Amino acid sequence: MRTPLVLVLLASSRAFAQVPLPDPPFLPQNASAGASPSTAAIPNAQWSSLLGNLLYFYEAQRSGKLPSTNRVKWRNDSALTDGQDVKLDLTGGLYDAGDYIKCTFPLSFTVMSICWGATDFGKGYDLANQTPYLDDMLRWSLDWLIKAHPANNTLFVQVANEEVDNAYWGGDRNIPLPRPSYQINDTSPGTDAAAGTAAAFAACSNLYANRIFSNSYSGPATLQNATYATTLLEHAKQLFTFATSASGGQAVYQHSVPEVGKAYASSGYGDELAIAALFLSWATNSSSLYQQAQGYWQQYSLSSYDGVFNWDNKTPGLPVLFAQIAQANPTFGGNASTWQTVAEKYFDGIVYGGGPGYQTRGGLLYYKGDSDDASLNPSLNAAMLLTRYVPLASTQSRRNDYRNYANAQVNYALGNNPMQAPYIVGANPNSPQNPHSAMASGGNNISDINTSPPQEAYVLYGGVIGGPDKYDRFFDIRADWPETEVALDYNAPMLTLAAMHVLNDTADPFYTSLKAGAYDSKKPQGMPCDDAYTDGCSGPQLSQGGKIVLGVIPGLTGLSIFSLLVWWAMISLRRAHDPLY
């Protein structure tokens, strides 16, 4: 007897059913609530609220037909024809940043990072009553990635043209057409994109299957669904095979699809192959895949990299994951102490110095180049990896130092910085007021982004912005995208960090100590110096407070300073005219 189709669909619906959403729903509070301390407790109300806001941001980034449970009332259905050019349904998913393109490479990194975090620190979501929204966010993202993988050796890596999209500034009802769909396939491969998406599917399969790494962590968020985990794992396996066996060979994905290189060009694929093999080894209980990942580490000389962890380079996360799995299952053949040594060489370079990163005067971990266009992202990703690694550290002093360093980076992002600004939209009265977001701005004049309208039309609650410059200055200018743009991957490390703090921290986030007007008193004069603006490239400008302090100095020690300056000028002139002096 054949089972009626309706019963099959009902059974499938129940098997894939997500965690029920709260009724009434969680909604962000006015920013003024972020200036009010809460009662010391676990879970801390302010950390729980922050975790909720960070997830809410992803709901504001949704593309496609919005569900009846949509909480972001100023958002509309959008981009409902995506995929029609290839006769597929590619609607849905998330817009990658402050614009309207959809990009698989950074999205897969984002969900990989969030699923990894929710596997280790998932009980933080449970305590904050945010697990339903975590499940909702992940499924909205993963279901689109499933759509983007319609065949074993095909993966759509971008929807919409970068140049067309960048020429539009306006709301989600008039997104310009056409929106072409770009793919990699067997003859036009993209090893990095295929392996990176495989890693995302495998990491999230682990979460939905409740595959814990260690009792040293809180354990996964309570959203287990064996059927969904199996579906995700099947896509992970297919994509990993595609990445390693495409008839067109192995290549970075912009080699096959030059269009993607305009926004998210990849620097290599060895790191994606290694991290995909690692997450798959845990998902399938495969020692051979673990050994394969170790082979990639050697083959691609990944040990020589000491830079940032981000959507392009996953290498710094590898020793941590190698160590987690080796400790959890020694039969895989990994040596936990060896990977401890590798991880601690990298982390020591951050915490004790010697690596390519340095601390700004205000205390922000900064990497020349990588931090210039989004300074908080390298810092928060480092803090997330450090905090995850703490239970694995070889000495108590390292455990303490790593934890303290990570907390300092989090506190910087949450307002303990020279600007006294928490860099999360809507968290506090001193939060950024002008995030670079076409949909939230309410404007439609691309030649006058900053003042049309003068005030952002909608509050993009929970959006982590790019961050301050290397002088710790933040100008809060809407068109200054290196400082004010939001992005999917910017929120990912802060989500995991907030979940960690919900679990363990009775004290409020730092920003609750900041009263309205704190940032205004510190806001720098002049203009930024970055990829969006060159007006301020003559050097850092002092805030009004700094100018006042500088003005007081001559009144106190003016004669001494003037005398020293005259002496130095005479010495300099003599040196300039007499090479033997």
SS3 485: strand
Long-range contacts, stretch 438-443, CB < 8 angstroms, 24+ apart = 438/98, 438/99, 438/100, 438/168, 438/169, 438/170, 438/171, 439/60, 439/75, 439/95, 439/100, 439/171, 439/172, 440/60, 441/169, 441/478, 442/171, 443/169, 443/170
Active-site residue among 126, 485, 505, 508? 485
**Nearest residue to 528 via CA among 517, 546, 541, 544:** 541
CB 377 within 8 A of CB 409: no
* Packed helices 191-208 and 131-147: angle between N→C axes, nearest 10 degrees: 140
Residue type at position 21: L
Give dist(CA 426, CA 301) in Å, integer: 43
What is residue 250's DSSP assignment? -
End-to-end CA distance of the chain: 103
- Asked about 456 being catalytic, the answer comes back as no
CB 190 within 8 A of CB 170: no
For β-strands 102-103 and 154-159, DSSP reports them as antiparallel
- Asked about 485 being catalytic, the answer comes back as yes
Active-site residue among 476, 480, 483, 489? 476
What is residue 210's DSSP assignment? T
Residue whose token pair is 């006769």: 87
Give dist(CA 192, CA 181) in Å, integer: 18
What is residue 315's DSSP assignment? G
Give dist(CA 118, CA 13) in Å, integer: 24
CB 72 within 8 A of CB 25: no
Give dist(CA 496, CA 491) in Å, integer: 9
- Helical (H) or strand (E) element with 577: helix 544-577
What does the angle CA 550 – CA 526 – CA 444 come to, to the nearest 5 degrees?
A: 155
Q: Where do the H-state alpha helices sit in 210-258?
A: 226-245, 253-256
CA distances from 124 to 94, 118, 389 (A): 24, 8, 17
Catalytic residue annotation: 476, 485
